[in-house]
Amino acid sequence: MSYPPQQGGLPYDGQNELRSYTASWLGTSSKCHIELEYYLAIHDLCWSRIGLECKLFGTSTKVFNITIRPYNEVEFGLIVQALFTIWWIFTITAAYQVWYPAACKQRPAGNMPASSARCDNSRFVVIVIFLLFTYYWVSQTIFTWVHVTTSGVFASYYFLEGTEQGVPPSPIIQSAKRASTTSLGSVCLGSLLVALLQTIRALLRMAAQETDNPFGAFCAACAEVIIGCIEGLLQYFNFYAYTQVAIYGKSFWQAAKDTWELIKDRGVEAIINDNLIGNVVLIGSILVGMLTALFGYLYTIIIHPSFNRDGGFTALIIVLSFIIGFQMLSVIGSVILSGTATTFVCLAEDPRALERTKLNLYRAVHNRDLPEFCTGITCITLV
């Protein structure tokens, strides 16, 4: 596969022709011109990175193709996620039957007699918040466990393949054992931080939708955006920190500190920020979430469940269906993301090992088409 030699993607003349054609078709709308320049800038930024991303994707799939049952940890994580989701759905349904004020007041007198205190809406709100936080925390822990297990396998092949020691037998089992024992505390701690931010963000989103005060809704929406940015940065950084946990068995805080120092020293910020594979997995997760949301909507209009006769829970069912589908595919997509993240960290830690085990990727990293990756590491002229 060959890639354009231009650092900016499209040739200069091609960009001018595209601008002229679009201007003649759309007219003189300044908004359209701004959007065109925006998409051209995104194209210029990403096009020259596609070559490396394709090679990283190929490397990730190649490692798992030579292992026995490569997706065992993903299958296990998906099963656990599905079982926990089923349990969570039953739990939140039971909470509705017991604590939701409208349902609480309709219970027979002999079955947990209702009272103004027992049927108070505040109790139901607290329970829903707790269940929402629990779902986020457990889901994030499963996702992180799969990532740590997968990263351990990739690190074994990165550092040991082709050496006298060689890759140990059943690297997946050994990596899963470390992730489930010595590294489990670090896995839960980092997942807890992300789950807290996800819960706060969900509460702010609901507050913005339910308040009748325009200024209050605006403030809640702004706060949600800020929390979302912090959450994204934390998830992004944790992903690479957990690679350190998988490789060296470090604590979460030590791994986070070492990852930050490693990134600054080795100068791989540009490549990490340009990781296009994560966007592909994200788009796939969103599409699956939309599909499950559609199934949830069809369920409400075809089955007509008794608890939703008046349609009051249709929106909630659609949102929950989207979350479930999104989380399910995110667990599967974590394999590819874990492979690329591990390759990034291992490359910054020991770029020479890449030359011994994966020469094609080593050449792609060090050739003239990817000069920004040579910042901070020794670049070698390859013949």
Do 219 and 111 lie in a common domain? yes
- Rounded Cα–Cα distance for residues 84 and 87 (Å): 5
For the ranges 176-180, 207-211, 255-259, the lowest mean pLDDT is seen at 207-211
**Residue-level pLDDT at 114:** 47
Do both 356 and 208 map to the same domain? yes
Is 191 found in the same domain as 234?
Answer: yes
| Residue 366, pLDDT above cutoff 70 | no
Q: Please, which pLDDT band fits residue 343 given cuts at 50, 70 and 90?
A: confident
Give 108's contacts (C-beta < 8 A, 6+ positions apart).
none
Q: Same domain for 131 and 78?
A: yes
pLDDT, position 134: 94
Place of tokens 């670049």: 379
Find all residues with CB under 8 Å of 223, minimum gap 6, and list them: 204
Whether 103 is in a domain gets the answer yes
Residue 44 is predicted with a pLDDT of 59
311's torsion region: left (phi>0), alpha (psi -120 to 50) or beta? left
Q: Which position has the token pair 């009748």?
A: 212
> Is pLDDT at 307 greater than 70 in this prediction?
yes
- Residue 64: predicted pLDDT: 58
21 found inside a domain: yes
379 vs 87: which has the higher pLDDT: 87
pLDDT-derived band at 5, boundaries 50, 70, 90: very low
Asked if 205 and 132 sit in the same domain, the reply is: yes
Taking the C-alpha atoms of residue 197 and residue 133, their distance in angstroms, rounded to an integer, is 9
Position 36 confidence tier, pLDDT thresholds 50, 70, 90 = low
Q: What is the mean pLDDT of residues 27-31?
A: 52
Q: Provide the token pair at 266.
A: 């080795």
Residue 326 falls inside a structural domain: no
Find the domain containing 10 and state its range.
1-48
Q: Give the per-residue pLDDT at 128.
A: 87
- Domain-located, residue 77: yes
Per the document, the length of the chain is: 383
| Nearest by Cα to 236 from 268, 273, 271, 262 | 273
In a domain, 134, yes or no: yes
Q: Is the pLDDT of residue 53 over 80?
A: no
Q: What number is the average pLDDT over the span 161-166?
A: 70
Q: Give the pLDDT confidence of 122-149 residue by residue, as tens digits.
A: 788 888 899 999 999 999 999 899 889 8
Helix, coil or strand: residue 237: helix
Contact partners, residue 363, CB within 8 Å, separation at least 6: 382
CA distances from 217 to 83, 328, 359 (A): 36, 31, 54
Given a cut of 50, whether residue 40 has pLDDT beyond it is yes
127 and 213 part of one domain: yes
- Side-chain-facing half-sphere of 36: CA atoms under 13 Å: 19
Whether residue 97 is predicted with pLDDT greater than 50 in this model: the reply is yes
Mean pLDDT of 47-60: 63
> What confidence score (pLDDT) does residue 56 get?
64
Q: Which of 15-29, 65-79, 102-116, 121-135 has the lowest mean pLDDT?
A: 15-29
Question: Token pair 């596609």 is at which residue?
Answer: 50
Specify the range with the lowest mean pLDDT, choosing from 51-65, 143-157, 203-217, 313-327. 51-65
Average pLDDT of the segment spanning 147-173 = 79
For residues 35 and 165, membership in a common domain is answered with: no
- The answer to whether residue 309 is domain-embedded is no
**Cβ–Cβ < 8 Å for 35, 43:** no
The torsion angle over the Cα atoms of residues 97, 102, 106 and 112, rounded to 10 degrees, is 50
pLDDT > 50? residue 35: yes
133-142, 219-228, 246-255, range with greatest mean pLDDT: 133-142
Q: Please give the Cα distance from 13 to 155 (Å, whole number).
A: 44
Q: For the chain, give me the number of helices (H) and strands (E)?
A: 15, 0
* pLDDT at position 136: 93
Give the whole-angstrom CA distance, residue 126 versus residue 330.
28
Confidence band (pLDDT; 50, 70, 90) for 197? very high
State whether 153 and 188 are in the same domain.
yes
Question: Do both 118 and 212 map to the same domain?
Answer: yes
Within a domain: 57: no
Co-location of 234 and 134 in the same domain: yes
Please state, rounded to an integer, the average pLDDT across all residues of the chain: 74
Question: Tokens standing for 310?
Answer: 């008046």
pLDDT above 50 for 4: no
Q: Are residues 10 and 125 in the same domain?
A: no
Per-residue confidence (pLDDT) for residue 139, from 0 to 100: 92
Instruction: Give the number of domains in the chain.
Output: 2
> Is residue 61 a part of any domain in this protein?
no
Half-sphere exposure (Cβ direction) of 316: Cα atoms closer than 13 Å: 12
Q: What is the pLDDT of residue 138?
A: 94
CA 210-212-213 angle, to 5 degrees, is 120
Instruction: Kindly state the percentage of the chain with pLDDT values over 70.
Output: 66
Burial label, 178 (beta-carbon count in 10 A; 0-12, 13-18, 19+): middle
Q: Are residues 158 and 240 in the same domain?
A: yes
Q: What is the pLDDT of residue 214?
A: 83
Q: Check residues 195 and 365 and name the one with the higher pLDDT.
A: 195
The pLDDT tens digits of the residues spanning 260-292 come to: 787 676 555 445 544 667 777 888 889 999 999
Of residues 358 and 257, the one with the higher pLDDT is 257
